[in-house]
Amino acid sequence: MALLKSCVRSGRNVFAVILRREFHKTAPALVQVTVRDALTQAMDEELERDERVFLLGEEVAQYDGAYKVSRGLWKKYGDKRIIDTPITEMGFAGIAVGSAMAGLRPICEFMTFNFSMQAIDQIINSAAKTSYMSAGLQSVPIVFRGPNGHSAGVAAQHSQCFAAWYGHCPGLKVLSPWSAEDAKGLLKAAIRDDNPVVFLENELLYGVAFEVSEEAQSKDFVVPIGKAKVERQGTRITLVSHSRYVGHCLDAAAVLAKEGIECEVINLRSIRPLDMETIESSVAKTNHLVTVEGWPQFGVGAEICARIMEGPAFNYLDAPVIRVTGVDIPMPYAKILEDNSVPQIKDIIFSVKKSLNI
Amino acid sequence: MLLSLNSMRKMLTIITNVLKGSASKNVARVVAARTYADFTAEAAFDVKKCDTHRLDDAPPTKSVLTREDALKYYRTMQVIRRMELKADQLYKQKIIRGFCHLYDGQEACAVGIEAGIKPTDHLITAYRAHGYTYTRGVSVREILAELTGRRGGCAKGKGGSMHMYANNFYGGNGIVGAQVPLGAGVALACKYLGTDQVCVSLYGDGAANQGQIFEAYNMASLWKLPCIFICENNKYAMGTSVERSSASTEYYKRGNFIPGLRVDGMDILCVKEATKYAADLCRAGKGPIVMELQTYRYHGHSMSDPGVSYRTRDEIQEVRSKSDPISLLKDRMLANNMASVEELKEIDVQVRKEIEEAAQFATTDPEPPLEELCNHIFYNDAPLEVRGTLPWAKLKSVS
């Protein structure tokens, strides 16, 4: 048990450690998997495992998915389980929620979460609140998934991050994967969960390949919802973020390591529930915290700051928490403006040094 | 045997057309000697009868076209065609990024609608908007520079392909269907302010199923708004054909209690007559009205869609050869001696030059300055401080 605990905290793969220690076999086979393929695999495995699971959304079937995340699924499972909808988000989200109420387990895809605003009433009022309003009589086992946050050159109406919006609502679980392992394990967990889950992917991550452990390649690999992952051990400062910015934090950490500053990087994985325990343990160790996200106002970083202040970790802080955020403007189109509207690695490095007073 | 002047002219046209393939200098010199007085000043053309819904009459089946207008429409459609092809080129060179939805094939819709309304009327459309941006008065230069994200763009590089605006042109809208209630709202303002202006509110076959459109239909009808709802039915909503998305594909009837017209969207004269008919109806206080333009797009949905996984190349080729809107107008003009082949070729040359110059500007104009980053968050407001990527980064915003 202690072994397990220490492995989980240090972020090392439990099975890899056990294998190495006790069996002295060859190292577990790691494969390179893109986030896109991890998502396709997750859906394929869950569609196979449970007849009640089905996918609906725009262009998910015959087009193989607007971003090819559902490639091959329609060919394999057919019209009944992979459904192309008209461009009517409010309508098909409502239909999906209704089907979940009656016992199915839908995966409702939004081509991007920007379009989920058309359907947000169904997500919040019909899905999120129902278990509570019915005192547990009526469940809504649904997953809303799709790309979230900024892409490249798609301008203001197509670049918003909805983590804060959905994270604000009780009754929803909100996930934001970064790596391929996150994508696969969290999506499988979301589909198996009996509650409405908002699954925020990122278009720019779809094509990125990650090493996936043997354990994660299994059909029963599930990542627990509500638990953050320490991607990198560190001692001087804690960097917390979700989705694409985890990569930025790791890049910043690599640069800072050359200067002898070891950063601990936490990948939130879950926006709601938020794993404050992992963050607090880390801050207790490092005494410094930087968060990274999209728009600043009323965001994930603001929530973390508030909770740090409300909890035991406040007394461990040697400097105020610094939030590195997107600029507080609608997303511009021109490349130079867009590049300067989002958190950059240099911003993270600058914040670390400022926090550490270097 | 004496030949009539008319038949002599006809013979000359026939001879010219037959010889146009050859590079005979003699023929060119002979043709160049013709004055414009030789051309037909005005002609009446048959246009297809529009299918009607809840209407006792219909737009005229004969459209009178002057030589001047014919040349203008030809040129405008060519500009749009070449501008879109240039955008395709620039996108493949990665000079245009993000989303780019091209309009080639649908030119008769934008140009025909503009011909049927006045510049003081209003228009709003979705994201396949470059053609309308041009017909509503923005130069090719400013459109291409907006696509390339430069400071000379019509939105200073901040909007991009889907967010171009002009006077009485409300974009360029990225969210499918959202522009339709907006258009009804513009029409409300027209009525409220006592003008005789109308608003053309465009959407596609994909958007036609959106609930908010039906909400807009209801209120526009209830309040008799001067709104012309126009569905540009190009048969495919991204990769989904109309049969797979719509329980009823008779989009001109979807307004139910609102009268409707189904129009040949590849024939600019048919579009013009129908639009004029619809605008007159609205100006007489009998609006709203729904129009369905049957049209076709040559490109895929956007630059990231090859456009051949859900339709055949044969289908695309068939439309190009039989129903191309520019060719249709050109054939009519030539067959009725409204212009010469050389004259039209000269226009083509000029158009190409204009597009090249605009592209040159669009690729050399500098990107917007960083000082512009936070401006225009608000309109007509006091300057404010905007949070940058870091808590102590205080940026300036003026409106």
- A58, A324, A333 member nearest B159 (Cβ): A333
* CB–CB contact A115 B176 (8 Å): yes
- B158, B206, B310 member nearest A87 (Cβ): B206
List the end-to-end C-alpha distance of chain A, in Å, as a whole number. 40
Interface test with A, best of B248, B389, B397 (most A CBs within 10 A): B389
Query: Would you state the pLDDT for residue B38?
Result: 86
Q: What is the mean pLDDT of residues A278-300?
A: 97
Query: Would you state the pLDDT for residue B77?
Result: 98
Query: Would you state the pLDDT for residue A80?
Result: 96
Pairing of strands A143-147, B122-124: unpaired
Q: Is B382 on the interface with A (CB under 8 A)?
A: no
* CB–CB contact A59 B239 (8 Å): yes
Q: Which is more confident, A121 or B15?
A: A121
Query: Would you state the pLDDT for residue A24?
Result: 52
Q: List Cβ neighbours of A298 (8 Å cut-off, separation of 6 or more).
A: A164, A168
Taking CA atoms, B233 is separated from B60, B208, B252, B257, B308, in Å, by 22, 9, 10, 20, 18
Three-state DSSP at A73 gives helix
Q: What is the mean pLDDT of residues A257-263?
A: 98
Query: Would you state the pLDDT for residue B24?
Result: 43
Positive or negative, the CA dihedral B384, A298, B158, B105 is negative
A243, A217, A218, A215: which is closest to A228 by C-alpha?
Answer: A243
Q: Which of residues 97-116 of A touch B (CB under 8 A)?
A: 114-115
Closest-CA distance, A108 to chain B, in angstroms, reads 17
Query: Would you state the pLDDT for residue A230?
Result: 98
Query: Would you state the pLDDT for residue A79?
Result: 96
Residue tagged active-site, from A89, A181, A280, A293: A89
Contacts of B143 in chain A (CB under 8 A): none
Query: Would you state the pLDDT for residue A172?
Result: 98
Q: Which of residues 115-134 of A touch B (CB under 8 A)?
A: 115, 117-118
For the record, the structure tokens of A112 come out as 């991007």
Closest-CA distance, A2 to chain B, in angstroms, reads 40
Residue A242 a catalytic site member: no
- DSSP calls for A87-139: S-HHHHHHHHHHHHHTT-EEEEE-SSGGGGGGGHHIIIIIIITHHHHTTTS--
Residue A89 a catalytic site member: yes
- A63, A330, A333 member nearest B149 (Cβ): A333
Contacts of B377 in chain A (CB under 8 A): 329-330
> Based on C-alpha coordinates, what's the Rg of chain A?
20
Positions of chain B with pLDDT lower than 50, given as ranges? 1, 21-33
What is the per-residue pLDDT across A147-205, written as a single tens digit (0 to 9) for each? 999 999 999 999 999 999 999 999 999 999 999 999 999 999 999 999 999 999 999 99
Residue B22, number of CB atoms within 10 A of its CB? 10
Q: Is A340 exposed, middle or buried (0-12, 13-18, 19+ CB in 10 A)?
A: middle
Q: Is B244 on the interface with A (CB under 8 A)?
A: yes
Q: List Cβ neighbours of A74 (8 Å cut-off, separation of 6 or more).
A: A60, A61, A62, A64, A82
**DSSP state for residue A20 in the 8-state scheme:** I
* CB–CB contact B98 A154 (8 Å): yes
Query: Would you state the pLDDT for residue A18?
Result: 45
Residue A232, number of CB atoms within 10 A of its CB? 18
- DSSP calls for B339-396: S-HHHHHHHHHHHHHHHHHHHHHHHHSPPPPGGGTTTTSSSS---EEEE-SSTT-EEE
Q: Is B149 on the interface with A (CB under 8 A)?
A: yes
Query: Would you state the pLDDT for residue B6?
Result: 60
For the record, the structure tokens of A175 come out as 């996930």
Give strand pairing partners of B52: B261
Residue A6 has pLDDT above 70, yes or no: no
**Cα–Cα dist B213/B221, whole Å:** 12
Q: What percentage of chain A has pLDDT greater than the value 70?
A: 92
Q: List Cβ neighbours of A156 (8 Å cut-off, separation of 6 or more).
A: A330, A331, A332, A333, B159, B163
Residue A4 has pLDDT above 80, yes or no: no
Residue A11 has pLDDT above 50, yes or no: no
- For all residues of chain B together, what is the average pLDDT? 93
Residue A21 has pLDDT above 60, yes or no: no
Q: Is B239 on the interface with A (CB under 8 A)?
A: yes
Query: Would you state the pLDDT for residue A29?
Result: 80
Query: Would you state the pLDDT for residue A293?
Result: 97
Residue A85 has pLDDT above 60, yes or no: yes
Query: Contact, A38 vs A183, CB < 8 A?
Result: yes
* CB–CB contact B239 A156 (8 Å): no
Q: Which of residues 95-114 of B touch A (CB under 8 A)?
A: 97-99
Query: Would you state the pLDDT for residue B15?
Result: 55
**DSSP state for residue A296 in the 8-state scheme:** -
Q: Is A259 exposed, middle or buried (0-12, 13-18, 19+ CB in 10 A)?
A: exposed
Q: Is A30 on the interface with B (CB under 8 A)?
A: no
Q: List Cβ neighbours of A18 (8 Å cut-off, separation of 6 or more).
A: A3
What is the per-residue pLDDT across B111-134, written as a single tens digit (0 to 9) for each? 999 999 999 999 999 999 999 999
Interface test with B, best of A337, A339, A354 (most B CBs within 10 A): A337
Q: Is A324 on the interface with B (CB under 8 A)?
A: yes
Global confidence as pTM: 0.88
Q: What is the mean pLDDT of residues A287-291?
A: 98
Q: Is B286 on the interface with A (CB under 8 A)?
A: no
